[in-house]
Amino acid sequence: MSSRTKSDWPVELRGVTESIVTTLGPNELWNVAALGLHTGNPVTAKTWGNTRTRRNFHRQGGGVVQFTHDPVDFVDATLSIREEEGAILDSADAWIEVEAERVDSGESGGTNWEQWELTPVESEIRTEHVPTVNRGFSAIVEATVAVSRLDVDAYDTAELRARLDYFEEVARKCGGERERQAFDRIRELTEW
């Protein structure tokens, strides 16, 4: 729909917005991987372990972040080694080429991580509406399902409460202000 060169993102980011990133590997193929975008100015992302994305960021200094509605592409990006001849997936509703600069590193739970500052270079919006995936919002949806089943005999209350604790942690960590407010409302409206 529109292609532009500017220094902003083609979608609204909040909390941790999930995306797919392609990075050019030494074999001249584009590695496809999931990448959580941390809202801020600048937008940042972390790579965990010795991944292809981390190595390609070091080699190439960037990649192409994509927003897609295709759940299969997201699963493949997250759980498999997928390489493509082109940088942009057919399912991408929008994409943005970014420069990636390492700004921090550390270790957590025995895994090394690196934090990257992502600077927009060029972007394209390919559809009228570009959906984004925010883990905080997804946790809210799952929490409402769990809460609705608390008083149903067919469900284990202790298991549902453990799920709710987990969903609250995800919503508060990965969501934006509205997701945090939504979880506050869940607590206000339920006996959980």
Identify the three-state secondary structure at position 191: coil
Tokens representing 182?
């939504």
What is the full DSSP assignment across 128-184? SS---EEHHHHHHHHHHHHHHTTT-TTS-HHHHHHHHHHHHHHHHHHS-HHHHHHHH
Residue located via tokens 């570009």: 130
DSSP-derived pairing of the beta strands 16-24 and 62-68: antiparallel
Predicted confidence at residue 8, as pLDDT, reads: 87
Model pTM?
Answer: 0.84
Q: Which residues contact 64 (CB under 8 A, 6 or more apart)?
A: 21, 22, 23, 30, 87, 88, 95, 96, 97, 98
Name the residue with tokens 């994509």: 66
Q: What is the pLDDT of residue 191?
A: 76
Considering only CA atoms, which of 18, 41, 9, 14 is closest in space to residue 182? 14
Sequence letter at residue 112: N
Using the 8-state DSSP alphabet, how is residue 17 labeled?
E
- Asked if residue 171 lies in contact with residue 183, where contact means CB atoms within 8 angstroms, the answer is yes
Q: Show pLDDT as tens, one digit a residue, over the chain (192 residues).
A: 444 444 589 999 999 999 999 999 999 999 999 999 999 999 999 999 999 999 999 999 999 999 998 999 999 999 999 999 999 999 999 999 999 999 999 999 999 999 999 999 999 999 998 989 889 999 999 999 999 999 888 999 999 999 999 999 999 999 999 999 999 999 999 877
Each domain of the chain, given as residue ranges in start order, spans: 2-131, 134-189
DSSP labels, 60-73: HSEEEEEEE--HHH
The answer to whether the peptide bond before residue 42 is cis (omega within 30 degrees of 0) is: yes
Which numeric CATH code is attached to 134-189?
1.20.58.290
In this structure, how many other beta carbons lie within 10 angstroms of the beta carbon of residue 191?
Answer: 7
Q: 3-state class of 33 per DSSP?
A: strand
The CATH-assigned architecture of domain 2-131 is Roll (2.30)
Q: Is there a contact between 11 and 131 (Cβ–Cβ < 8 Å)?
A: no
